[in-house]
Structure 1
Amino acid sequence: MEHLILIHGALGAADQMDALKEKLVKNFRIHILEFEGHGSLSKSNEPFSTSCFIEQLEGLIADIGEPVHIFGYSMGGFIALLASSKGNNQIRSITTLGTKMKWSSEIAEQEVKHLNPEKIAEKVPAFAQALEKRHGSEWEGVLHRTADFMKTLGEEAPITEELMSQINIPVQLCLADQDQMVSKTETEEVQSWLPNGTLKNLTDSKHPIEQVDLNTLVSNIKAFIKSI
């Protein structure tokens, strides 16, 4: 069977991919990448950075030692695209879901407003509890480092036409029809930059992967990889 790496999103961890893994494990050899500073690795106090996350992904690919396909949710797709743009020839295809492509200082500022631990604990206690369950006592630090990471993305805006045009492998960009964080316009723009990019819309779905039509997503992943 072919290798498939699953990558979680911002504020997520390896467990965020469990439901997807269950639906794909009979078809692929599944590997889950957990970013440094998240979940079981949350005690790391290193700042979040694209270079660190890309290095982690490249390390996992090197450990596997064979060509891989990648599914990246949200930030996971972002890192997969940047890694591929660097020319890693072991990556055979990428599927993203809900990946925010367009960043600016203004956009980052708006997103960071949602990452205040005190406000989350006060106004959305269930979410705070879920974050604590996922990241342990370090959950507030994960929020702070994610906020700093988003500010850096706003300053650098790493996804560019120049980089994306260098990705020659098949890329499938999936977007929920009710995603309020990622616009169809920015996703279509990146699709137009990719030499071999396609766009799939998921109906009756929202940005959180827990609110996505998982069966449709799984069908898209399987069909896409089979077509390569």
Structure 2
Amino acid sequence: MIKVIGLTGGIGTGKSTAAEYLIQKGFAHIDADDISRKLTESGSDMLPVLDEIFGPEGEFGDGKTRILDDKGNLIRKALAAVVFSDINRKSRLDEIMFSRIIARIDEKIAWFKRHPAEAGKGVLLDAPLLFEAGLDSRCDLVLVLVADMDVRLARVCCRDSATPEEVRDRIKSQMSDNEKIKKADAVIDNSEERADLYESLDEFLREYFSVF
């Protein structure tokens, strides 16, 4: 029986690092962010839809920020600046994207269940909006990563060349850690060094997977 692990956590909690480690441990990987990026890559029919809604003249635009460049490609940082500053804009973007992302994820999970040898130790469903999208219903267990706010701000500011205010806006737009923790099967605090995260992940695997 193939198990599906849901991996989630707010921005800056180290979700990508945890995913990389679990992949090394033999888990197949479904990356919701990657699916989202592919849905909005150059030439996608999603781009005119997003521009109509979130562009400067759109209902949820800010009246000044272009989200597509001169070639019609998405300016991701511009879209993020628009939607993460307002909860209603963020909710509208989620509404547009979730159904398409979920459909792709369901296809991938079904494929791994038909081809269990390709799933390795199990399937890792890596999704920052796991709960918001209702994807926890596809999982056998959910692992949530958390971290101290100062640590998260430092990580994201360094990674994305963002200001602390921009990162705080993104964090405020996401489900709180407390809400995630209530819904989780397991929680790892990733405020310390990478080695500490790996040790905690090993403990998680030993507890929930007999093959480790």
TM-score class, shorter-chain normalisation, is: 0.3 to 0.5
Larger radius of gyration: 2
| TM norm structure 1 | 0.42
| TM norm structure 2 | 0.44
